[in-house]
Amino acid sequence: MTDAARAEAEAVLSAPPRTLWRDVWRQFRRHRGAMAGAVIFIAIGLLVTLGPQLHDIDPTAPNFRARNLGPTWAHPLGTDNIGRDSFAQLLHGGRVSLAVGLSAMTLSILLGTLIGILAGYFRRLDGPLMRLTDLFLALPLLPLLLVVIMLFRDPLRTAFGPETGIFLLIVFVIGITSWMQTARIVRGEVLALREREFVLAARSIGTRQHRILIRHILPNVVSPIMVAATLGIASAIITESALSFLGLGFPPDFPTWGRLIYDNKDFIQSAPERVLWPGLALALTVLSVNFMGDGLRDALDPRGRGR
């Protein structure tokens, strides 16, 4: 063996092992849209988590001497009609919007995965659970969601305080009304996986049901779940903003992007930028998340891997 060939062989041997997620990352990195989306999303995340430390102004404190200001160094986006700093509101609002998006998505994915796996794996549960899914898809969810918020707003407010109570309520109502797509996708995958040889093999050596589900079925449906999770963040953020826009989300002194649009909609003629910025922030966040989701879907598709 020549030295060159030996060096090459050693390079291959010492290279990190090829695993599924390393391959996926390789694909994801080559996807230009996905990388742009990831960079923007991380930038927005850093801005709303670290930004309030750097731009240290209380977003809820009115300052009647500085009302309706244009952009200045102290107030980069100006102030609103009672002198609150618009940039600080935008940063704090983003924090809440992202937190709601991530938490509601987690709840909806957990529910969807649970129902999907149960329906796909246990034949007896398939019928009832899928009828339930169809029912949720047919119900006019927005009106019911609004009703549930009206019903539980006051009790939760007294139980957990105004902010935590509303946060839990919003996350809960978005979570329980958005699991259906995940459940359908997971069920479809599990239906096919259940008939595969490795499941038969596991069963024939006496593996228990729950162990088959957790060790053998679940890891194989992680990919579609991840894609659904990414896209779920986007739709949860949009739903929260719509609720806040209808005035049924967070209380007025607790800014979210949707709430900011709602609060400033009467000033759209005199100060359109106060409506423009939160909307642009929403659109940019959703856009970056959707691009990431698309990239992830392509990267997880085995047909495109290894290229």
Residue ranges binding another protein (CB under 8 A): 131, 134-135, 138-144, 146-148, 150-151, 154, 234, 238, 241-242, 245-246, 248, 258, 261, 265, 268-269, 272, 275-276, 279, 282-284, 286-287, 290-291
Q: What angle do CA 31, 34, 39 make, to 5 degrees?
A: 125
CB of 237 to another protein, least distance (A): 9
Distance of alpha carbon 173 from alpha carbon 132, whole angstroms? 17
Instruction: Closer to another protein by CB, 167 or 291: give it.
Output: 291
CB of 204 to another protein, least distance (A): 33
Instruction: Closer to another protein by CB, 100 or 217: give it.
Output: 100
Extract the tokens encoding 19.
């695993």
Distance of alpha carbon 68 from alpha carbon 83, whole angstroms? 6
CB of 283 to another protein, least distance (A): 5
Instruction: Closer to another protein by CB, 213 or 299: give it.
Output: 299
Instruction: Closer to another protein by CB, 9 or 137: give it.
Output: 137
CB of 118 to another protein, least distance (A): 19
Instruction: Closer to another protein by CB, 7 or 246: give it.
Output: 246
